[in-house]
Amino acid sequence: MDAAEVLQTVLSVIQGGTPIATPSSATSTPSSSQMLSPQGGGPPTIPQMIVTLLSLGAFWDWLKVLLVGAFLEICRRGSAAVWEKLWDSVWVTADFEWDSDGAEWLMYWLSQQRVFQKARSIEVCTWYFGPEGVCVNDLGDSDGDDRNDQVVFLPSLARTYSLWYRGLYLTVSRDRVLDAGSPWKTSKDMLQISMLTRDSGLLRELLKEARKAYKAANGHLIDVFVTEGTENWQRVAAQEKRPMSSVVLDPGVFELVLEDARDFLNSRKWYSDRGIPFRRGYLLYGAPGAGKTSMIHSIAGELGLAIYILSLTVTSLNDNSLKALISHLPKSCILLMEDIDAAFVRGIARRDIANPELHLLTSSNDDGDDNEDSSKGHAGRDPGGGGHNGVTLSGLLNALDGIAAQEGRILFATTNDYAALDPALLRPGRLDLHIEFGLASKHQAKELFKRFYTSSDAPVKVDEEDDDNIEDDGAGEKNSAYSSRTVSPVPPPGNATSKLLAMPEGVKSVYVGMTCTRHSFQLPQKKAAALVERFAAAIPPHTFSMATLQGYLMAYKVRPYVAVEEAPAWVEKKMRENDTQAAAKGRGSPGASTLGKTGTFHDVDD
Ligand SMILES: Nc1ncnc2c1ncn2[C@@H]1O[C@H](COP(=O)(O)OP(=O)(O)OP(=O)(O)O)[C@@H](O)[C@H]1O
């Protein structure tokens, strides 16, 4: 009986009929079909079929093939598993997403390794420098200052680099894999590092070393994050730390905030012992251009904290995403909400969108005292001229101090309009310390002047002798054609600075703003002291913002004498402008450049 016959028999049995007779079965002596047929001529029973199958020689051949195949497959899989186990036992491997911090540290570490510097296959990138640009190299033919000349060397895709670390064999590879988490089936790059050792602690050591080297290289920078999508943070920049001395405030203000924040960061246990949420909030309010943002930047540098900037006016933001964003903050960081009043005026919905019939947003889903706070003085305030997002005041309050709010974060909120803020937001626990920033005081004007002309990293050398040649009335400087608004089209000859500003004869100066030809100017101490006093005397206190004064001095970057000389005229002109503006707007009396009602400032420029 051949295989076709057996198959036919089996099929007919399955179909419940009698076996189909084949020509061979019709002619031959008792065939399989006959054997399978019960004596009564009905369909064969299952035991009969089994007996028949076992009696077939081909069946045993098939069985042998099957068993050998199964055995070989088991061996293959077993050996693969054993090999994998063996491999795992001698290698320690770690995978990093390409845009993760770990990958960044390792990339920096790798960029310092000779093997990588000498690698013969490498990806050269001229547009991606990484958020910190720490892996940036120049090609050796420039001083490296020009970003256009710089490149970054990345490991090539799907290539493995081998090197030695503390005498251990190490491989690094970069691969592109399918992003399992992405609904769009996008791919992502992964950095894999494997070390030939059984001690996973060594990989941790390597990571620590890479992080330390990276941080050391970044010691002068602070990380700045913004929201990515609506629930995640993305690092967008690493900015140079701003020296504390560059923010000129009245004595003690900067120190007060800095020490308070420092003290807070060191008091985690104190807070937890007393069951107080470990969070601190500062509100910096006052005149535009008074140094609020500058101070936050500088404090972040002093404390070594990253800044997370959250704009409440983003239209895609809602209560849930706000909560998610705040709960995704790291343990210690600065959360910056700039112009928080703008959120109230333009973006934030003061009605609870879940309960639109509520005219005033109450915090019944928050905690008790907000009810009372929220109802003070803000009823009927128009939520603003459109652009609403889904953030409600209670959503904001919850996000700031609800259960999910991150512990250890420092919140800095800034506003130019203190009165626009809801009292619920201002209460201790949310914004604990409110610091007012006024227009420039005499002290600030003096310090700003000193900062311009007496301290600089790369001063233009002016020795006493040269300096003495500059007449104190600034006549020498006056002709230097170095000014923001009055530029002589054809500068007087023989002046190095002026040459750079030279324009073809007959062509009028067409620009306003500041030109920059020399980096800085350094006055000798004794001259500086005298000029500082004269400058401060010319500037009326609490009349101009620091940004305005800075703008003025920028126009006289290398002409301190003229800056002092022309200050009274400039002040007069500015005051006049301001009066005209105030009169035009019909808001306030002439000279309304000074502090208005509490918390609201008007600068002559603003
Ligand atoms: N107190 C200050 N000391 C030094 N520079 C200052 C000071 N205030 C303002 N400036 C300068 O003015 C410019 C604007 O400052 P900054 O952005 O810090 O002001 P702000 O108070 O945050 O303004 P706004 O409320 O409009 O955001 C910056 O270039 C900064 O260097």
Ligand 1 pocket, 288 CB below 6 A?
Answer: yes
- Shared domain for 49 and 99, answered yes or no, is no
Counting ligand 1 atoms within 8 A of each CB, the residue from 294, 295, 336 with the most, and so the one to mutate, is 294
What is the C-alpha separation between 105 and 204, in angstroms, rounded? 12
Contact in structure between 88 and 196 (CB atoms under 8 Å): no
Per-residue pLDDT at 155: 75
Residue 411 CB: number of other CB atoms within 10 A?
Answer: 25
Can you tell me which residue has the tokens 């350094």? 522
> If you take atom 28 of ligand 1, which residue's CA is the nearest one?
547
Answer for the pair 413, 374: CB distance below 8 angstroms, yes or no.
no
254 found inside a domain? no
Using an 8 Å Cβ cutoff, are 567 and 465 in contact?
no
Which pLDDT does position 528 carry in this prediction? 85
The response to whether residue 546 sits with its C-beta less than 6 Å from ligand 1 reads yes
State the CATH number of the domain containing residue 323: 3.40.50.300
Task: Identify the band that residue 16 occupies on the pLDDT scale cut at 50, 70 and 90.
Answer: low
Confirm whether 529 is domain-assigned.
yes
pLDDT band (50, 70, 90) for residue 218 = confident
pTM over 0.80: no
Q: Which residues contact 253 (CB under 8 A, 6 or more apart)?
A: 435
Residues 289 and 307 in one domain: yes
Q: Which atom of ligand 1 is nearest to the CA of 444?
A: 1
The mean of the pLDDT values for the chain is 73
- 175 or 341, which is more confident? 175
Smallest CA separation from ligand 1 atom 9, residue: 291
| Ligand 1 contacts CB of residue 547 (under 6 A) | yes
> Is 207 contained in some domain?
yes
Do 398 and 366 contact (CB within 8 A), yes or no? Answer: yes
Residues 419 and 494 in one domain: no
Confidence of residue 439 (pLDDT cuts 50, 70, 90): very high
Atom 17 in ligand 1: residue holding the nearest Cα:
293
CB 264 within 8 A of CB 407: no
Positive or negative, the CA dihedral 295, 296, 297, 302 is positive
286 lines ligand 1 (CB under 6 A): no
- Compute the distance between CA of residue 306 and CA of residue 223 in angstroms, rounded to an integer: 5
Question: What is the structure's pLDDT at 284?
Answer: 93
Domain boundary among the residues 388, 416, 437 is at: 437
- Cα(552)–Cα(575) distance, integer angstroms: 14
Asked whether residue 162 carries a pLDDT value surpassing 50, the answer given is yes
- Asked if 373 and 413 sit in the same domain, the reply is yes
- Give residue 444 CA to ligand 1 midpoint distance, Å: 12
Q: For the chain, give the percent of residues with pLDDT over 70.
A: 64
d(CA 452, CA 393): 43
Distance 188 CA to ligand 1 centre (A): 40
Ligand 1 centroid from CA 317, angstroms: 28
Domain shared by 292 and 387, yes or no: yes
Same domain assignment for residues 425 and 471: no
Q: What is the rounded average pLDDT of the residues 176-191?
A: 80
- Total structural domains within the chain: 4
Q: Which domain holds residue 500?
A: 442-585
Compute the distance from residue 244 Cα to the ligand 1 centre, in Å. Answer: 13
Alpha carbons 8 and 3: distance in angstroms, whole number = 9
Residues 389, 485, single domain; the answer is no
Instruction: Answer whether 247 contacts ligand 1 (Cβ < 6 A).
Output: yes
Considering the domain architecture, whether residues 533 and 581 belong to the same structural domain is answered as yes
Mean pLDDT of 30-46: 61
Mean pLDDT score, 578-603: 53
Residue 600 maps to a domain? no
pLDDT band at 480 (very low <50, low <70, confident <90, very high): very low
Q: Is 249 inside a domain boundary?
A: no
Picking from 580, 535, 579, 581, the residue whose alpha carbon sits closest to that of residue 560 is 535
Query: Are the C-beta atoms of residues 216 and 201 closer than 8 Å to each other?
Result: no
Query: 550 in ligand 1 pocket by Cβ < 6 Å?
Result: yes
Pocket test for ligand 1, best of 550, 601, 605 (most atoms within 8 A of CB): 550
pLDDT one-digit tens code per residue, 66-117: 999 999 999 999 999 999 888 878 888 899 888 788 888 888 888 778 777 6
Residue nearest to atom 11 of ligand 1 (CA): 547
Instruction: Please state the atom number of ligand 1 nearest to the C-alpha of residue 284.
Output: 21
**Strand ranges (DSSP E) for 503-567?**
none
What residue owns the CA closest to ligand 1's atom 7?
A: 291
With a 6 Å cutoff on the Cβ, whether 416 touches ligand 1 is yes
**Looking at the structure, do residues 51 and 189 belong to the same domain, yes or no?**
no
- Shared-domain flag, residues 49 and 111: no
Average pLDDT (185-207) is 87
Looking only at the bridges linking them, the beta strands covering 168-178 and 159-165 are: antiparallel
Q: What is the whole-number distance in angstroms between the Cα of residue 293 and the centre of ligand 1?
A: 6
How far, in Å, from the CA of 603 to the mean position of ligand 1? 13
Domain boundary (437, 461, 486) is at: 437
pLDDT-derived band at 589, boundaries 50, 70, 90: very low
Verify whether ligand 1 is closer than 6 Å to residue 44 (CB atom).
no
Q: Are 568 and 432 within one domain? A: no
- In this structure, of 196-210, 333-347, 557-571, the range with the lowest mean pLDDT score is 333-347
Q: Single out the residue in 410, 437, 464 at which a domain terminates.
A: 437
CA–centroid distance, 292 to ligand 1, in Å, is 6
State in Å: Cα 435 to ligand 1 middle.
15
Q: What's the whole-number mean pLDDT along residues 387-401? A: 77
Q: Ligand 1, closest atom to CA 437?
A: 21
Residue 465 and residue 247: Cα distance in Å, rounded?
32
Tell me whether residue 598 is in a domain. no
Distance 333 CA to ligand 1 centre (A): 22
CA distance 335 to 64: 72
The answer to whether residues 396 and 277 belong to one domain is yes
Residue 314 or 561, more confident? 561
- Rounded to whole angstroms, what are the CA distances from 73 to 66, 76, 78, 82? 11, 5, 8, 14
Distance in Å, CA 301 to ligand 1 centroid: 16
Question: Is residue 267 included in any domain, yes or no?
Answer: no
**How does DSSP classify residue 278?**
S
Residue nearest to atom 14 of ligand 1 (CA): 289
Could you tell me if 135 and 111 are in contact, meaning their C-beta atoms sit under 8 angstroms apart? yes
Which atom from ligand 1 is nearest to the alpha carbon of 547? 12
Q: What is the pLDDT of residues 245-268, one digit of tens each?
A: 889 998 888 999 999 999 999 998
133 lies in some domain: yes
Q: Is the pLDDT of residue 497 over 60?
A: no
Instruction: Name the band, by pLDDT with cuts 50, 70 and 90, for residue 290.
Output: very high
Residue nearest to atom 24 of ligand 1 (CA): 288
Answer yes or no: are the C-beta atoms of 149 and 139 closer than 8 Å.
Answer: yes
Nearest C-alpha to atom 12 of ligand 1 is from which residue?
Answer: 547
pLDDT over threshold 50, residue 602: no
